[in-house]
């Protein structure tokens, strides 16, 4: 994981010390860059000639203050493009920001239209969002020029009249396979395998488009490609089905000039380059340009792509582009269904899947899985005294406190309300105790601002259960760590409890609590009979 972010600053924004401390405590380096020091316009030729800048930062951050206007935010995005590989993230200014807005603050949709890839409602959401950045799937979508007709005419869906019955059956097989794709690579794989059987070429490639730093040109990056130079026409046979199961790796070849022209002009291009016959068809879905489908005939004396073949490909790219776009939306919807909207941590639905998979893996390889159940002490007092908005902000701050205390491979979940669960794969009792103590201590020492510099003090009670020492199933693990947490509540709160290591107490009744060979606040508690 890249541990560096760029924080853009200007005269209208305030970089809170708590934000810098939160990011740095998570092991993320923060490089402050003044917008006034960045070039107003960056071209691909100039690159980063303005001075040494960190290569490939994890993200570029900008705080949207109350005085930020649409024109100013557009300028921020344009200057942030000197880091073309990094997503641009906006986060809202907390309520303690000074200044009065000259116009209504742009909403999240407006910020995304302006060019921001991710938007956090508060700086407290940033650690959780940054943790997900590397796993996020980009859409590769670009806005089309104004005036472009986003909805194809009815005749655009009509196949050329010269298409044979075999090609009609092949087109149907291709469309059917696209419906089965669950991600962009699978959709591209199905498209390439089908296209190669309908229109002969030595190589087919699908490129995704992204905006260059100039904001005027399109950069094409290969998503998937295949060479089909074995000779002879391909058929929809057993080999076709095997190809759909193969993993297609992105080719190392760059897009041709015809491909770049097709993306820039949004029209099908047929060209001859260096003796090779090339056809390039833009992939358009709605009002977005996704990329380009490119076919090349490399052999000397190869015939050029005919106008009928180009028309055939143009029709087929409509469902191909829709499948590429829909697969991204499906992935984003699945991600949203597994993410807590407030803290941007995983939710209880994801927890069940993760815990089941980790316990299956631990059962197979003889490993351990520790589970921590955390509940904030007297959290209702924060809502009653300072309001629910301050309470919600404190919950986001809790996420920012927990994440730096665990590994990247650990799972942090907002279970509900003010309850959190941490799953620690390959972790025994002693290590789980250390992690729990680290989390408890950080929460106890942290001053929660509530978004208004309130300096609220909070504590937490934690319960620990370890598979297979304390539980033999995911359900039993959750029940016992929850029971341990309630025992911590009964022991004057702000402490950690773990369950006993055997099930003997389930048969013989409660046993006396025993001290753990750790600090005195950790005590073993009897594991009472649980009915599943």
Model pLDDT for residues 178-235, shown as the tens digit of each residue: 887 878 888 888 888 888 888 889 899 999 887 554 445 677 888 888 888 655 678 8
Structure letter (DSSP) for residue 346: B
CA nearest to 128, candidates 350, 460, 326 = 350
Q: Rounded to the nearest 5 degrees, what angle is found at the Cα of 127, between the Cα atoms of 124 and 128?
A: 95
The answer to whether residue 342 is domain-embedded is: no
Query: What phi and psi values does residue 352 have, to the nearest 5 degrees?
Result: -60, -45
* Domain-ending residue, one of 89, 105, 136: 136
Report whether 209 contacts 282 (CB < 8 A): no
Specify the pLDDT at position 398.
92
**Rounded Cα gap, residues 469 and 368, in angstroms:** 8
Do 35 and 170 belong together in one domain?
no
Position 368 pLDDT exceeds 90: yes
Kindly state the tokens that stand for 252. 């190392």
Specify the pLDDT at position 92.
80
Question: Could you write out the three-class secondary structure of 475-495?
Answer: HHHHHHHHHHHHHHHHCCCCC
Its domain, for residue 233, covers 154-332
Q: How confident is the model at residue 161 (pLDDT cuts 50, 70, 90)?
A: low
Element (H, E) at 414: strand 411-416
Specify the pLDDT at position 509.
40
Position 516 pLDDT exceeds 70: no
Report the pLDDT averaged over residues 452-473. 90
Do 360 and 489 belong together in one domain?
yes
Report whether 67 contacts 95 (CB < 8 A): no
What CATH number is attached to the domain comprising 315?
Answer: 3.30.450.40
Summarize pLDDT for 390-444 with one digit per residue, the tens. Answer: 899 999 999 989 998 899 889 999 998 999 999 999 999 999 999 999 999 999 9
247 vs 110: which has the higher pLDDT: 110
Q: Which range, of 46-55, 90-99, 386-395, 462-471, averages the lowest pLDDT?
A: 46-55
The answer to whether residue 530 is domain-embedded is: no
**Rounded Cα gap, residues 292 and 463, in angstroms:** 53
244 vs 382: which has the higher pLDDT: 382
The answer to whether residue 378 is domain-embedded is: yes
Q: How confident is the model at residue 248 (pLDDT cuts 50, 70, 90)?
A: low
Find the Cα–Cα–Cα–Cα dihedral 159, 161, 165, 169, rounded to 10°: 0
Report the pLDDT averaged over residues 448-469. 89
92 vs 97: which has the higher pLDDT: 92
Kindly state the tokens that stand for 398. 């809790």
Query: What phi and psi values does residue 456 have, to the nearest 5 degrees?
Result: -85, 135
Please name every residue paired with 395 in a beta bridge, in sequence order, or none if there are none: none
Query: What phi and psi values does residue 447 have, to the nearest 5 degrees?
Result: -100, 110
**Rounded Cα gap, residues 304 and 279, in angstroms:** 9
**Rounded Cα gap, residues 148 and 65, in angstroms:** 34
Position 343 pLDDT exceeds 70: yes
251 vs 259: which has the higher pLDDT: 259
Specify the pLDDT at position 523.
44
- How far separated are the first and last CA of the chain, in Å rounded? 40
The answer to whether residue 444 is domain-embedded is: yes
Report whether 413 contacts 420 (CB < 8 A): yes
Do 313 and 366 belong together in one domain?
no
Do 358 and 482 belong together in one domain?
yes
**Residue at token pair 């006034």:** 36
The alpha-helical segments, DSSP class H, found in 4-107 are 17-25, 70-80
Using CA atoms, how far residue 496 sits from 370, 371, 379, 429, 482, in Å, is 14, 12, 17, 12, 12
Please name every residue paired with 203 in a beta bridge, in sequence order, or none if there are none: 227, 296
CB atoms < 10 A from the CB of 360, how many?
Answer: 12
**Rounded Cα gap, residues 214 and 42, in angstroms:** 6
Q: Which range, of 136-145, 192-201, 331-340, 421-430, averages the lowest pLDDT?
A: 136-145
SS3 282: strand
Do 511 and 416 belong together in one domain?
yes
Specify the pLDDT at position 43.
45
Do 314 and 244 belong together in one domain?
yes
Do 8 and 106 belong together in one domain?
yes
**Rounded Cα gap, residues 57 and 53, in angstroms:** 9
Query: Is there a cis peptide before residue 172, judged by omega within 30 degrees of 0?
Result: no
514 vs 329: which has the higher pLDDT: 329
Specify the pLDDT at position 247.
65
Burial of 329 (0-12, 13-18, 19+ CB in 10 A): exposed
Residues whose CB is less than 8 angstroms from the CB of residue 529 and which lie 6 or more positions away in sequence, other chains included: 506
Q: Rounded to the nearest 5 degrees, what angle is found at the Cα of 184, between the Cα atoms of 361 and 289?
A: 155
Do 75 and 125 belong together in one domain?
yes
**Rounded Cα gap, residues 136 and 531, in angstroms:** 40
Structure letter (DSSP) for residue 365: H
Report whether 514 contacts 499 (CB < 8 A): no
Residues whose CB is less than 8 angstroms from the CB of residue 249 and which lie 6 or more positions away in sequence, other chains included: 224
Position 494 pLDDT exceeds 60: yes
What CATH number is attached to the domain comprising 95?
Answer: 3.40.50.280
Do 19 and 60 belong together in one domain?
yes
Q: How confident is the model at residue 240 (pLDDT cuts 50, 70, 90)?
A: confident
* pTM for the predicted model, two decimal places: 0.65
Do 244 and 270 belong together in one domain?
yes
**Rounded Cα gap, residues 138 and 266, in angstroms:** 21
Kindly state the tokens that stand for 1. 């994981």
Do 169 and 318 belong together in one domain?
yes
SS3 329: helix
The answer to whether residue 532 is domain-embedded is: no
The structural domain count of the chain equals 3
**Rounded Cα gap, residues 208 and 213, in angstroms:** 16
**Rounded Cα gap, residues 317 and 171, in angstroms:** 11
* Domain-ending residue, one of 136, 167, 190: 136
* Domain-ending residue, one of 300, 332, 364: 332
Element (H, E) at 295: strand 288-297
Q: Which of 149-153, 435-439, 501-505 has the highest mean pLDDT?
A: 435-439
What CATH number is attached to the domain comprising 413?
Answer: 3.30.70.270
The answer to whether residue 313 is domain-embedded is: yes
Summarize pLDDT for 258-289 with one digit per residue, the tens. Answer: 988 888 888 899 999 888 999 999 998 877 88
180 vs 15: which has the higher pLDDT: 180
The answer to whether residue 337 is domain-embedded is: no
103 vs 115: which has the higher pLDDT: 115
The answer to whether residue 280 is domain-embedded is: yes
Q: How confident is the model at residue 495 (pLDDT cuts 50, 70, 90)?
A: very high
Structure letter (DSSP) for residue 267: S
CA nearest to 396, candidates 2, 150, 123, 106 = 123
Do 120 and 234 belong together in one domain?
no
Kindly state the tokens that stand for 325. 């776009």
């Amino acid at each position: 994981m890249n541990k560096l972010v760029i924080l853009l600053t200007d005269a209208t924004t305030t970089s809170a010390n708590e934000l810098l401390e939160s990011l740095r405590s998570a092991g993320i380096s923060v490089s402050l860059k003044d917008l006034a020091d960045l070039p107003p316009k960056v071209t691909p030729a100039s690159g980063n000639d303005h001075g040494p800048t960190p290569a490939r930062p994890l993200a570029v951050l900008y705080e949207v203050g109350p005085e930020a206007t649409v024109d100013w935010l557009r300028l921020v995005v344009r200057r942030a493009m000197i880091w073309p590989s990094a997503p641009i993230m906006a986060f809202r200014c907390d309520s303690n920001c000074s200044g009065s807005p000259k116009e209504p603050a742009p909403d999240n949709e407006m910020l995304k239209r302006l060019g921001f890839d991710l938007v956090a409602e508060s700086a407290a959401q940033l650690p959780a969002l940054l943790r997900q950045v590397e796993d996020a799937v980009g859409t590769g979508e670009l806005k089309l020029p104004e005036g472009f007709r986003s909805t194809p005419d009815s005749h655009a869906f009509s196949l050329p009249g010269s298409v044979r019955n075999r090609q009609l059956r092949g087109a149907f097989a291709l469309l059917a396979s696209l419906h089965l794709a669950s991600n962009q690579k699978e959709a591209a794989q199905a498209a390439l395998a089908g296209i190669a059987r309908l229109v002969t070429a030595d190589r087919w490639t699908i490129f995704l488009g992204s905006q260059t730093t100039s904001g005027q040109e399109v950069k094409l990056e290969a998503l998937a490609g295949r060479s089909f130079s074995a000779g002879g026409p391909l058929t929809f046979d057993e080999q076709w089905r095997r190809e759909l199961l193969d993993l297609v790796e992105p080719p190392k070849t760059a897009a041709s000039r015809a491909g770049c022209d097709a993306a820039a002009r949004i029209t099908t291009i047929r060209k001859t380059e260096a003796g090779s016959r090339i056809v390039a068809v833009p992939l358009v879905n709605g009002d977005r340009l996704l990329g380009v489908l490119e076919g090349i005939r490399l052999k000397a004396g190869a015939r050029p792509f005919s106008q009928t073949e180009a028309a055939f490909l143009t029709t087929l790219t409509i469902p191909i582009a829709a499948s590429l776009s829909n697969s991204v939306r499906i992935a984003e919807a699945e991600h949203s269904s597994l993410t807590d909207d407030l803290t941007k941590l995983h939710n209880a639905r994801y927890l069940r899947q993760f815990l089941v998979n980790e316990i299956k893996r631990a059962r197979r390889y003889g490993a351990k899985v520790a589970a921590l159940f955390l509940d904030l002490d007297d959290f209702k007092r924060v809502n009653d005294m300072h309001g629910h908005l301050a309470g919600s902000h404190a919950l986001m701050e809790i996420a920012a406190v927990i994440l730096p205390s665990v590994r990247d491979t650990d799972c942090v979940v907002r279970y509900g309300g003010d309850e959190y669960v941490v799953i620690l794969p390959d972790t025994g009792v002693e290590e789980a105790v250390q992690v729990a103590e680290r989390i408890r201590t950080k929460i106890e020492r942290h001053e929660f601002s509530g978004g208004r510099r309130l300096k609220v003090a909070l504590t937490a009670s934690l319960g620990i259960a370890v598979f297979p020492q304390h539980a033999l199933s995911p359900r039993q693990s959750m029940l016992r760590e929850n029971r341990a947490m309630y025992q911590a509540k009964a022991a004057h709160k702000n402490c950690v409890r773990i369950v006993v290591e055997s099930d003997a107490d389930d048969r013989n009744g409660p046993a006396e609590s025993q001290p753990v060979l750790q600090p005195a606040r950790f005590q073993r508690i009897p594991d009472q009979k649980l009915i599943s």
